[in-house]
Structure 1
Amino acid sequence: MAARFTRANGLTFAYVEAGPPDGPLALCLHGFPDTPATWRHLLPRLAEAGFHAVAPWARGYPPTGVPDRVRVEPDTLAADVNALHRALGGGRDAVLIGHDWGAIAGMRAAAAAPERWRRLVTLAVPPERVLLGAAGDGPQVVRSRYALAALLPGAEHRMASADAAGFVRLWRRWSPDYVPTEDDLAPLRAVLRSPGAPRAVLAYYRGFVPAVLSGRALSHRVPLPPQPHLMLHGRDDGCIGVVWAERSIGRLPHPASRVVILDGVGHFLHLERPDDVGDLVLDHVVAPGTPPSTATAQPSTP
């Protein structure tokens, strides 16, 4: 699929799309280190279900614009998501699907503008409130050492010069039973070879990690999305431990929300088990709309 372009939140975003342009918007957000190619299995299924399925390159990931900023706050990413809803003609029936950084941006966007998003799916990242204790958890700090490395001098040069083998090692650590293919790696190499992209990609961590370490970013001031929310996590995730997904059970506000933990998969669960994950996502997003609720009960399925 050829890239298309739109303006949102003061930036030019590139995206790929599938399905009828007049269908309900299904916005699919990638994470790090990744590109819209991560949704190559899910986009056709969403399109077959009648959605206008759109997967943008996130800010700083060419061919989307590369802003000259050293730090990017998560709220900026959320503003991008809600601006894309407007730019792409989304209605109140739109749904939001995010993995990794896309999950963080998606949760913040859905909480900030609940009238825009009917349902929400996040993969591999629990709500920030749940992650409140992660900074003091030894095993999770070890898993998150890649994020701390983004703060060190020379990080941009190391990322710009990274070869495919380096990304394979990272993906294998996060998803031990998945070997990334050229469909994964070729688009990623193209992004990181672009001028300014390594700095822009690392800006996410430089805007977030210091706040995490100081306890500000994961405070109770970050609202939980009120929509029906499906949260998916791999039991073998080497990036964010499954314990944090388990601690999310019973924490999602809407009574139609649930947490599903998949055995035998890691961080890139939608690539490892695309059929199973696709079934779960489609079952959730095609369900009848339910208005956002302030209820605290949440039946969750581990």
Structure 2
Amino acid sequence: MSSQKEITLSHGVLRFSAIEAGEGPIVLMLHGFPDTLRTWDAQLDFLANNGYRAIAVSTRGYETQSQPKDGDYSSPSLAGDVIAWIDQLGGGPVHLIGHDWGASIAYGVAMAIPDQIKSLTALAVPHAGRFMSEIHHYPKQLRLSWYMLFFQLPGIADYVVRRNNFAFLRRLWKDWSPGWEFTQEQFSEVSQAFAQPRVVESTLAYYRAAIGLRSLPLGRSSQEQTSWPIDVPTLGITGAQEGCIAADVFESMMREDDFPAGLKVVTVDDAGHFPHREQPAFVNELLLDWLAAQDSADKEKTSSH
């Protein structure tokens, strides 16, 4: 069995807690909302025991040491953090895995530095540019995404999220993964993280930066993102019972044209928004097959040059 150890990554003055296990090609894992780096516990040991150096990182704002004084939670800055970590870890190419907001960030990283990313795995969130610019074509998805608009209410949303020991976040987990019987311990990791100073404001700032007035569907920035080609081999994973971004919406927004280096989409049965937590054995094998295939393709490419 591999042993996990805590490390610290940085970007400028910001410091980010991370947990790593194993040795070998780097697999960098980014959590989503509302969650913590502990979301990857089942993947960390599994990947480490199968020849990878797996690293799960706490993203910007989820702890006081990673909260920027200027309150910048824009997508380019979130991607910039990951680019800095990759550099700090000795440079790529690395495998990048993201869930929820971690997936959104990972798309931005893959677009910015495709040569440093060996493979991309995105769980629960489809191509970020497609989602932001085309969501209004899906009335069902607009209803499911009500919370994004609710989070635009500073003060009010922050209060509601905190109230009654984060009952709002617990409700999101239940709505998003209706078949998942998560434990009190799993949720208390999240409530403890969100109880730290300014973590609620920071995590909601992701949504305020992403869908504030400047980036409404008709805004220029989201139209530019629609044509984002992600030139990295990409695996998209969604859960059949997904209650946050519906599985059929995910599938229709993951288009081969947007992924010139190759795209594979898998829907996990008996899973909702957290397939890697809900069906860890299935997702782990899926990840291992995917990473191994990309590693061997990479070796062939290198030997042919």
User: Could you say whether these structures have the same fold, taking a TM-score greater than 0.5 normalized by the shorter chain as the test?
Assistant: yes
Q: Does the alignment pair 1:219 with 2:219?
A: no
Q: 1:45 Cα deviation (Å)?
A: 1.3
Q: Which moved more, 1:164-173 or 1:23-32?
A: 164-173
What residue is the counterpart of 1:108 in the other structure?
108
Q: Which moved more, 1:241-250 or 1:40-49?
A: 241-250
Q: Does the alignment pair 1:150 with 2:151?
A: yes
CA RMSD of aligned residues (A): 2.0
Q: Is the 8 A contact 1:99 1:123 kept in 2?
A: yes
Cα gap change, 1:145/1:91 in structure 2, threshold over 3 Å: closer, same or farther? same
Higher helix proportion: 2
Q: 1:274 Cα deviation (Å)?
A: 0.6
1:32-43 matched pairs, under 5 angstroms: 32-43=33-44
| Percent of aligned positions that are identical | 33
What residue is the counterpart of 1:49 in the other structure?
50
What amino acid maps onto 2:210 in structure 1? F
Q: SS state of the match for residue 258, structure 1?
A: strand
1:1-302 matched pairs, under 5 angstroms: 1=4, 3-20=6-23, 23-62=24-63, 64-70=65-71, 72-92=73-93, 94-131=94-131, 132-153=133-154, 154-210=156-212, 211-221=215-225, 223-247=228-252, 248-254=254-260, 256-287=262-293, 288=295, 290=297
Cα gap change, 1:110/1:29 in structure 2, threshold over 3 Å: closer, same or farther? same
What amino acid maps onto 1:111 in structure 2? M
Q: 1:60 Cα deviation (Å)?
A: 0.3
Q: Which moved more, 1:247-256 or 1:225-234?
A: 247-256
In 1, the alpha carbon distance for the partners of 2:13 and 2:116 equals 20
What amino acid maps onto 2:57 in structure 1? P
What residue is the counterpart of 1:295 in the other structure?
none
Q: Which moved more, 1:10-19 or 1:63-72?
A: 63-72
Cα gap change, 1:123/1:176 in structure 2, threshold over 3 Å: closer, same or farther? same
In 2, the alpha carbon distance for the partners of 1:246 and 1:17 equals 32
Unaligned runs of 5+ in 2: 299-305
Q: How many residues align?
A: 288
Q: SS state of the match for residue 81, structure 2?
A: helix
Q: Is the 8 A contact 1:13 1:64 kept in 2?
A: yes
Q: Is the 8 A contact 2:64 2:199 kept in 1?
A: no
What amino acid maps onto 1:282 in structure 2? L
Question: C-alpha deviations, 1:47-70, integer Å up to 9, x for none?
Answer: 112211111111000165222344
What amino acid maps onto 2:222 in structure 1? L
Question: C-alpha deviations, 1:155-206, integer Å up to 9, x for none?
Answer: 2222233525432211110011012223421221121111111111111001
Cα gap change, 1:250/1:214 in structure 2, threshold over 3 Å: closer, same or farther? same
Q: 1:286 Cα deviation (Å)?
A: 1.7
Unaligned runs of 5+ in 1: 292-302
What amino acid maps onto 1:30 in structure 2? H
In 2, the alpha carbon distance for the partners of 1:289 and 1:83 equals 26
